[in-house]
Amino acid sequence: MYYRLRNNFRLSIITLLGASAVLGITPFAVYRFWQGNLPAGFADTGILLSICMAVVYAWRTGDTDRAGFVLALVAVGGGATVATLLGEVGLFWLFPSLITSFFLTSALIAVLVNFGALGFLLAEGTAFSSQEQMWSFVTTAIVVSCCAYVFALRNDSQRERLEHLATLDPLTGVKNRRSMDQELAAAVLASQRNGVSYALVVLDLDHFKRINDEFGHSVGDTVLVEFVDLLVTHIRKSDQLFRFGGEEFVLLMPGVDERGLDVVMNNLQHSLRRSLKSPGGQAVTASLGIALLQDGESAASWMARADDALYRAKASGRDCIIYADLSAVASG
C-alpha cells in the first residue's frame, strides 16, 4: 500500500481527497440533516459516496485516469451544486475543488470542468447575493484556475522529464535496468495474450576490464558508446536495447524466429570484429547469450536462461553465440 502511494502520484492525490472528504464532508452532511436541510444533506452525502466509490475503483483497478476524471467532476460539480443550495456559504467549497481538479485529471480537462461549473453558477444565479459578488467570485475563480493551470503544465513537464531520465542510462543513452524489468514483464504478458514470439539477447564485451586497466575508464566509456552506436545500426525500431550493468547489455527482440535471429546475430558479430577497435588497434569482440521466450515462462526465468547462455559463451572461449535452447556454439 505504502509503495503504491509513494510511486503513484495521482493515486496518492485521489486517496488524500477521499480521506479529506470523509473527514471534512461527513460532519457537514450530518449537520444539514440535523438542521432539516434535506437537499443539502443529500447533496453532501452523494458527493461523499461518489468520492469513496471512485477511490475504491482506483485502488482495485489502478485506473487513476478515469477515477481522477470522475473525482474532478464530482468535486467541482458537487461544489457548484452546494453553492446553489446554500448560497454564499457554499461558494467557499468551490475554491479547493477548482485547484484539486488539476491534480486529478489533465490540465485541459480540469480547465473545461472548472469553467463549466462557473458557467453553471452564472446561468443559475441564486448562489450570489449581488452582481458585484458574482463577478468578484467569478474573477477570482478564473485567476485561481489560470494559476493552477500554469502550475499543472509545469509540474507535468517536470515529472515526465524526471521519469524519462529515470529510465535511461546516462552514459550510452539507452534504457536502463529498471526500464528493462518493466519491458520484459510487458513482453511476457503480450506473448501470453497475442502469441508474439520474443528473443532475449544478453551481450557482454570480451576482456573489457583490460581496456579500462590499460587505457583508463574514459577510453572504456568511449568504447561502450561506440558499441551501443554499432548495435543501434543493426537492430530494428521495434527492438529495445538496455544497459544491464557495466559492459553488459540486453536486447529485446519481438516477432523473431531462430533462423532470422541467427542471421542477424552473426552479422552483428562480424560487424563488431570489423568495426569496434580498442585504442591499441585490437578488435573488441562480444559474447552473446540468447533465449527465446517459452510458453508460460516468467520474465525472471527467461532472463536467467539468457544469462546462463552468456556464461557458457564466455566459458567456451568468448567471441561466440550460444542459444539457451541449443547446445551448439556459433563462433561466427
Positions marked active-site: 247
Q: Report the residue count for the chain.
A: 332
SS (H, E, C) the chain: CHHHHHHCHHHHHHHHHHHHHHHHHHHHHHHHHHHCCHHHHHHHHHHHHHHHHHHHHHHHHCCHHHHHHHHHHHHHHHHHHHHHHHCHHHHCCHHHHHHHHHHHCCHHHHHHHHHHHHHHHHHHCCCCCCHHHHHHHHHHHHHHHHHHHHHHHHHHHHHHHHHHHHCECCCCCCECHHHHHHHHHHHHHHHHHHCCCEEEEEEEECCHHHHHHHHCHHHHHHHHHHHHHHHHHCCCCCCEEEEEECCEEEEEEECCCHHHHHHHHHHHHHHHHHHCECCCCCECCEEEEEEECCCCCCHHHHHHHHHHHHHHHHHCCCCCEEECCCCCEECC
CA angle, residues 138, 140, 142, in degrees to nearest 5: 70
Nearest to 72 by CA among 121, 111, 46: 111
Query: CB-based contacts of 131: which residues, under 8 Å, 6+ apart?
Result: none
Query: Could you tell me if 272 and 284 are in contact, meaning their C-beta atoms sit under 8 angstroms apart?
Result: yes
